[in-house]
């Protein structure tokens, strides 16, 4: 059909846009970019004469997901399609298709009441950072902690509470706010999120101090925490995705590998050298045990990364290899994760198995309880879902020997060992 198309970019940044189409019968179509599943509440009316047809469109601003990024200057375009004449034209020349937001025109100074949308967005952001802050400080006890552990928390708290008060004051009197006040909400909330994350990392050391402090005993020089196997634990403790605890809990079926991390948290102003860790048997129902052939404790190693050619949140020491367990050092104020891998052999009795990991550092011993729940079913050895991983022999030979000529440089036993490793973790060798 002939058609009139309206394109709207509410943020006014020549980016994300919405499309509305009307034909001479008043039939409507809308989309978010080219996503036709998006629908809006809008109206259109048409009128036809022997010479032309006219369309009038009403687009309620509530149809758009408006927030603090939207102002009174929007980007728009209007296109016209004449199928009989095989012509297409637009108010702002699109050069090769209407779906070209970089070629939209601008509507300046629209008379819109955006205050309700500003309030809603600001409230959502403020509530989120308030909840994150309260969750971070819940249960923190500064009473007995030394200055080195308490100071990072004490130093960050006033800045965060002041910024939160500023946002909450704005929401308490929104009608008195200026455009400049609203413009500051997003950067203030973003900075708050960063500051709260830094506070969470600092509070992890404080929580470790409180959890591992023994009344009447010497001050703890280190504490322990746990983290899931899918979490990357940085040496500086930032973005810590685990929790301070006295127990690591795992669960697995028979014929399955499962892993978790025990994180050594320095509470000392000096490096802890010569640290050691050991793992006991896991004892379960009827005296059944999982021993050294099923359990392995490794040291998480770090690789120094450089800035890549794309955006990344962090550059520096990145946890990656699992190294043989040996004496290690935890630098002052930093953390060191240990990797516990458990294998449950076929035929293992189901139930709860218990043991412990003991860490010795700075003349002190700390014991992390470990429990492994074994489910009463077994995973088959053979897989039926392919998972291509890219471990071709030429690739491995290139990495380890500097040449993809694996027939010459890669011993067959190395290739076999890789395949066994992949199959243990249910990855299909290519």
Instruction: DSSP for 55-80, please give it.
Output: EEEE--GGGS---TT--S-EEEEEEE
| pLDDT value for 167 | 95
Q: How many residues does the chain have?
A: 430
User: Half-sphere exposure of residue 341, counting CA atoms within 13 Å on the CB side?
Assistant: 17
What are the distances in angstroms from CA 47 to CA 274, 282, 293?
Answer: 86, 81, 82
Task: Report residue 217 as tokens.
Answer: 């005993």
Q: What is the pLDDT of residues 230-268, one digit of tens each?
A: 999 999 888 888 899 999 999 999 999 999 999 999 998
What gap in Å lies between CA 94 and CA 75, rounded to an integer?
13
- Please state, as a whole number, how many other Cβ atoms lie within 10 Å of the Cβ of residue 120: 13
For 254-292, b/e burial (b = at least 16 CB within 10 A) is: bbbbbbbbbbbbbbbeeebeebebebeebebeeeeebee
| pLDDT value for 175 | 87
| pLDDT value for 148 | 83
Question: Where do we find the tokens 């101090």?
Answer: 209
Ranges of residues in the chain whose predicted pLDDT is under 70: 430
Q: What is the pLDDT of residues 191-201, one digit of tens each?
A: 999 999 889 88
Q: Which residue, among 124, 26, 25, has the nearest Cα to 66 in the 3D structure?
A: 124
What gap in Å lies between CA 199 and CA 156, rounded to an integer?
6
Please classify residue 397 by burial: count the beta carbons closer than 10 Å to its beta carbon, then call 0-12 exposed, 13-18 middle and 19+ buried: buried
What gap in Å lies between CA 297 and CA 310, rounded to an integer?
35
Nearest-10 Cα torsion for 393, 399, 401, 407: 10
DSSP-based three-state secondary structure for 276 = strand
3-state helix, strand, coil in the chain (%, to 5): 30, 35, 40
- Stated as kind and residue range, the H or E segment containing 155 is helix 147-172
Do residues 240 and 204 make contact, with C-beta atoms less than 8 angstroms apart?
A: yes
| pLDDT value for 238 | 83
């Amino acid at each position: 059909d002939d058609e009139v198309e309206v394109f709207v970019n509410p943020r006014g940044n020549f980016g994300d846009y919405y499309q509305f189409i009307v034909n001479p019968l008043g039939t409507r179509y809308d989309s978010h970019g080219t996503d036709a599943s998006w629908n809006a509440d809008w109206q259109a009316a048409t009128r036809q004469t022997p010479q032309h047809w006219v369309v009038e469109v009403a687009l309620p601003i509530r149809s758009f997901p408006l927030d603090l990024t939207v102002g009174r200057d929007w980007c728009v375009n209007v296109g016209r399609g004449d199928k009989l004449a095989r012509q297409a034209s637009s108010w702002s020349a699109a050069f090769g298709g209407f779906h070209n937001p970089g070629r939209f025109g601008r509507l300046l100074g629209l008379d819109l009441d955006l205050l309700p949308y500003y309030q809603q967005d600001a409230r959502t952001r403020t509530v989120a950072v308030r909840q994150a802050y309260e969750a971070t400080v819940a249960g923190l006890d500064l009473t007995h902690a030394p200055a080195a552990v308490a100071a990072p928390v004490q130093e960050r708290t006033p800045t965060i509470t002041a910024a939160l008060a500023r946002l909450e004051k704005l929401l308490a009197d929104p009608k008195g706010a200026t455009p400049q006040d609203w413009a500051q909400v997003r950067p203030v909330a973003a900075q708050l999120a960063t500051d709260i994350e830094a506070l969470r990392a600092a509070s992890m050391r404080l929580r470790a101090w409180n959890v591992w402090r023994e009344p009447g005993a010497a001050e703890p020089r280190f504490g322990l925490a746990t983290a899931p196997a899918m979490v990357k634990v940085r040496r500086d403790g930032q973005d810590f995705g685990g929790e301070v605890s006295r127990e690591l809990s795992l669960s697995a079926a028979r014929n399955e590998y499962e892993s978790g991390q025990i994180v050594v948290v320095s509470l000392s102003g000096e490096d802890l050298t010569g640290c050691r860790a050991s793992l006991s048997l896991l004892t379960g129902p009827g005296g059944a045990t999982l021993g050294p052939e099923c359990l392995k404790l490794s040291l998480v190693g770090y690789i120094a990364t450089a800035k890549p050619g794309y955006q990344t949140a962090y550059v520096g020491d990145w946890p990656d290899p699992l190294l043989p367990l040996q004496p290690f050092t935890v630098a002052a104020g930093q953390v060191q994760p240990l990797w516990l891998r458990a294998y449950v052999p076929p035929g293992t009795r189901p139930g709860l198995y218990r043991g412990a990991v003991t860490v010795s550092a700075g003349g002190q011993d700390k014991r992390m309880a470990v429990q492994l729940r074994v489910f009463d079913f077994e995973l088959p050895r053979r897989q039926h879902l392919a998972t291509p991983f890219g471990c071709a022999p030429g690739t491995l030979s290139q990495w380890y020997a500097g040449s993809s000529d694996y027939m010459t440089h890669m011993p067959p036993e190395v290739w076999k060992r890789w395949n066994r490793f992949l199959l243990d973790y249910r990855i299909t060798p290519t």
